[in-house]
Structure 1
Amino acid sequence: MKLRVRSELVYRFDPPMDAIFQIHVAHWPGQQILEETLALTPAVPFRVDETVDFGTRPLRARLSGEVTVLYEALVDNGRLTELSSAAVQHDWAELPVEVLTYLWPSRYCPSDQFGRFVEREFGTLTGGTRVRAIVAWIAENVDYRFGVSDGETTAARTFIDRAGVCRDFTHLGITLCRAAGIPARAVSAYAFQLAPPDFHAVFEVWLSDGWWLIDPTGLAPIAGLVRIASGRDAADIAFLSTRDACEMVRQSVTVEAV
């Protein structure tokens, strides 16, 4: 699918501070960037690098006052497919070494606290069937609701509150999958048909020798996702990171089919 993505971020940085944006479309197998532009207003020095593992391209700059960051790209995201129920869960000895880190607890995903729950709820299932059951449980038991969570909310808190937004659904999905012995990690994306439009948090699991994307909110079709960044949880995929507090003036994200 060919998609045109656009993000405009207007923030106030006072006092001056270093900032890292993750808004560029990633260089990722099957995802081709056909065109892209980037503009910072006022013009300031910046650098865009690329991570080895994920093709994530963080933008770094020292910013002061009100700054507009405008990014646009035309992307062919290939043919993304829904998770198959027949996807196979691997024994840990069979996993590639690079996916092992996504079995362990992380800051927002305390999977070591959910082993008993996962065994009781999903212990008779395995592979794609188990992951689909986990996603169905989240859909049935957690409400999509703004204002319940914040930047410090963990999956454990969401499990108690039974409400949150996409990052909370994703953290809970990752946590339950890891507790089930399935490697899982967070992905930030531009998402076609997401309402209201915004950066979207989803996750992916390692089954049948590959990664499968999953949107636990069910708000966007898998075929319309454009990968930006990947990592253990939201700490690794944030679209903006600063050491000091900055002020959002306005922000918009759009994704259109071409």
Structure 2
Amino acid sequence: MRVRLETRLDYDFPERVESLLQIEAAVADDQTVVEERLVFDPPVQVTRRDDPVSGERRVAFTHQGRLAIAYDAVVEIDHRDMALAEAAQHPIAELPIDTLPYLRGSRYCPSDTFETIADQKFGVLKGGARVAAVAAWIAGHLEYRIGCSDARTTALETYVQRAGVCRDFAHLAITLCRASDIPARVASVYALTLEPPDFHAVVEVFVGGRWRLLDPTGLAPIDGLVRIAYGRDAADVAFLTIFGKATMVAQSVTVTAV
């Protein structure tokens, strides 16, 4: 599948500050950037801070005043077999070293407090079957509700109030998987057919020998996701990190099939 991305950001920086922008499609085995364009108005000097290991692409810049950022791209997405049912769970000793950080709790995913809850709810299920059960439980018990959470909301608060947006769904799924000894991480993506269009947060779990994408909200097809970045939780994948103050004037994300 081939999709077109159109992202527009308009910010006002009252003081001269540094920022880190992460909105470009990542380099990955299951997606190819066919063409792209990143434009700043007014023009600013940028320093690339790409990660050759993760494939994440980002730029650092310094600016004061109004700034409009436009990112346009066409990305080819390969077919993704993300079946969970037969995907085995790995003993800790057999996990690849780079998956180990995603077994531990993080700022928004206090998995150590969910171990008893995970065992009670998902019993003897293991691996992909357990992940599928986690996703089904979230779909049946959480309400997608805009405005009921903010940038400080953790998976524990989402579990209690049983509502949230995509990042809250993702954090709770990650927390329950890590509490089940399954490596899990958040991925920021562009998502085809998402309504309303926006940056989207989904989950990657390591079962059956590889990372597999999962959208706990069920709002977007896996074959229509373009990965931007991944990390322990939302703190690692912000599309714009501002080391100072700024005001968002406008923002839009459009993803269409080509």
TM-score, structure 2 normalization: 0.98
Verify: 1:216 aligned to 2:228, yes or no: no
User: Residues 169-205 of structure 1, C-alpha deviation per residue, up to 9 Å, x if partnerless?
Assistant: 0000000000000000010000000000000000100
CA distance in 2, matches of 1:16, 1:78: 41
CA distance in 2, matches of 1:107, 1:13: 27
The alpha-carbon deviation at position 129 of structure 1 amounts to: 1.0
Equivalent residue number for residue 102 of structure 1: 102
User: Residues 12-60 of structure 1, C-alpha deviation per residue, up to 9 Å, x if partnerless?
Assistant: 1111211111100001112111100010000111122311331101121
CA distance in 1, matches of 2:193, 2:120: 36
The alpha-carbon deviation at position 246 of structure 1 amounts to: 1.4
The alpha-carbon deviation at position 124 of structure 1 amounts to: 1.7
CA distance in 2, matches of 1:225, 1:82: 12
Percent identity for Structure 1 against Structure 2: 49
CA distance in 2, matches of 1:154, 1:246: 24
Name the SS of the counterpart of 2:151 in structure 1.
coil
Code of the residue aligned with 2:80 in structure 1: it is: L
- Contact 1:81 1:222 survives alignment (8 Å): no
Equivalent residue number for residue 189 of structure 1: 189
Equivalent residue number for residue 60 of structure 1: 60
CA distance in 2, matches of 1:9, 1:116: 43
Change in CA separation of 1:30 and 1:82 when aligned onto 2, cut-off 3 Å: closer
Equivalent residue number for residue 157 of structure 2: 157
CA distance in 1, matches of 2:7, 2:140: 32
Equivalent residue number for residue 69 of structure 2: 69
Query: Where does the alignment leave 5 or more consecutive residues of structure 1 unmatched?
Result: none
CA distance in 2, matches of 1:5, 1:192: 9
Name the SS of the counterpart of 1:112 in structure 2.
helix
Equivalent residue number for residue 238 of structure 1: 238
Name the SS of the counterpart of 1:198 in structure 2.
coil
- Contact 2:50 2:59 survives alignment (8 Å): no
CA distance in 2, matches of 1:123, 1:183: 18
TM-score, structure 1 normalization: 0.98
CA distance in 2, matches of 1:237, 1:164: 18
The alpha-carbon deviation at position 92 of structure 1 amounts to: 0.5
- Contact 1:190 1:226 survives alignment (8 Å): yes
After superposing on structure 2, the runs of 4+ consecutive aligned residues of structure 1 that deviate more than 6 Å are none
The alpha-carbon deviation at position 123 of structure 1 amounts to: 2.0
Say what the alpha-carbon RMSD is for the aligned residues.
0.9
CA distance in 1, matches of 2:239, 2:141: 28
